[in-house]
Amino acid sequence: MGVSRTHELRGFSEVPQEFDVGSSVRIKLTGVITKITSKTDWGDYVLEGYECFFPGSGLEEV
């Protein structure tokens, strides 16, 4: 299974990282540090202060 074209354009890596709810993470594209508030049924993350969700490959541990 490869990376979608959208993920390639955004600079996300192929293998998403796994994080726990409550963990502090940095959004790779912006450098903003925030906390994970929940995880979607399909594995993406909802972050504090954001109404959208992010794939694990777009985040990094702090």
Q: Is 4 helix (H, G, I), strand (E, B) or coil?
A: coil
- pLDDT for 18 beyond 50: yes
Higher-confidence residue of 20 and 13: namely 20
Q: What is the pLDDT of residue 17?
A: 81
Confidence of residue 6 (pLDDT cuts 50, 70, 90): very low
Which amino acid would we find at residue 45?
A: Y
Domain boundaries, the chain: 5-61
Predicted TM-score (pTM) of the model is 0.70
Per residue in 24-56, pLDDT tens? Answer: 999 999 999 999 999 999 999 999 999 999 999
Contact 29, 10 (CB under 8 A): yes
